[in-house]
Structure 1
């Protein structure tokens, strides 16, 4: 059965554009313009992923997300935010209320479709609401953007931290180069595979352990 995606946005043009493009990717898509009806629509539609705009009349997207997360049936449903707002406090609040990812509309449609494909087709995890990840001797703390390995604190720049955080959510999974690229840098940035290798080598040197293996154009967090 095709994966189901629920879109919630009061802008009809954006809703139609998203629906058209996601249906082209093979998803069953339902659109909802009334944020007050979003939870009821989610109940009846039972989507695998929900994409919310933030700034909507009546009830904003963050409040809708909070309502959904308080219901047992939507505890593990993916919830992405797609919004024109870029303020950091809104991003933080969206994730704090249970959003799994925050995508700015300015980054374009491709970033969204790649992230949807990552979680629904490639079965990789993107859950930025998870604050702490423990895998063996590795501890990743998103609240402070710090990494600890065997008790040693390791400070990583933003992209290195996000790369390791993404891989730590998918341990022992073979992650394609394009999934790393689009989920860390976005669809408008092009990096050669060797550029990602540089970031990964920096991570390994700073942590002091060869935690990330490469095979062809795929990468895997292993050794746990």
Structure 2
């Protein structure tokens, strides 16, 4: 495979460990140990994916992500954030800046690899058929990965888009959390806040204050579904 992955962390032993595991699976790797070097490498090398630690010298991971995602030529490069802190606010801040996924340290290596595969697959569009999903005022072009809602384009991250496409393909029907994890993240289990944060962000982007409301509902112990809701807000 030709995909190049940039691994950024100030722990050189961790960088080498992750890079070695990725190379063993056929990926090409790049490495950086501070934020300034990471951003320069993203701009110069245009890797296919970035694994980015938050706590970095020179420039922290949040700022690296903000600058990369704010550049039209770089914003489509998937970023998987790593954090050693347990606060959910770290994840929310990273996702708000455009990160596509996050994991907490220490992490299972195979889960990291699975998430890398899922992000690369979504970025390349491999395995997806060219078709259109339409329901009411929602239209999804799955070839171009574009979403229009009530005639306006929705600005979604790759992960938000993938969740919406999956739910919209079965609108009104429940998709289990296990299937979301398997289809979107490529794993059978992970920190449930990862799913919750993305569902919450997607829910807010679909809420335009009009009726009927297109709602992402979460049913405890069952999963999530996309439904049209009539009536007063």
Q: Please, what TM-score do these two structures have when normalized by structure 2? A: 0.58
Tell me what 1:71 maps to: 71
Alpha-carbon separation, structure 2, partners of 1:50 and 1:121: 14
- Number of residue pairs matched? 164
Q: How far apart are residue 36 of structure 1 and its match?
A: 1.1
**Is the contact between residue 35 and residue 60 of structure 2 (CA under 8 Å) also seen in structure 1?**
yes
Tell me what 1:92 maps to: 92
3-state SS of 1:72 partner: coil
The gaps in structure 2 that reach 5 residues or longer are 126-132, 139-159, 171-177, 192-218, 229-233
Q: How far apart are residue 89 of structure 1 and its match?
A: 1.1
**Is the contact between residue 7 and residue 51 of structure 1 (CA under 8 Å) also seen in structure 2?**
yes
Alpha-carbon separation, structure 1, partners of 2:164 and 2:61: 28
Tell me what 1:179 maps to: 182
**Is the contact between residue 12 and residue 33 of structure 2 (CA under 8 Å) also seen in structure 1?**
yes
The gaps in structure 1 that reach 5 residues or longer are 126-133, 140-163, 188-198, 210-224
Q: C-alpha deviations, 1:25-59, integer Å up to 9, x for none?
A: 11111010121121111122111111100011221
What are the residue-to-residue correspondences of 1:11-160 with 2, within 5 Å?
11-121=11-121, 136=135
Q: How far apart are residue 102 of structure 1 and its match?
A: 0.9
Alpha-carbon separation, structure 1, partners of 2:162 and 2:4: 24
**Structure 1 outlier segments of 4+, above 3 Å:** 121-125, 164-167, 169-173, 180-184, 201-204, 206-209
Q: Please, what TM-score do these two structures have when normalized by structure 1? A: 0.60
Tell me what 1:168 maps to: 164
Q: Which moved more, 1:23-32 or 1:37-46?
A: 37-46
Q: How far apart are residue 76 of structure 1 and its match?
A: 1.0
Q: C-alpha deviations, 1:104-146, integer Å up to 9, x for none?
A: 1233222110011112247688xxxxxxxx962598xxxxxxx
3-state SS of 2:119 partner: helix
Alpha-carbon separation, structure 2, partners of 1:109 and 1:138: 42
3-state SS of 2:98 partner: coil
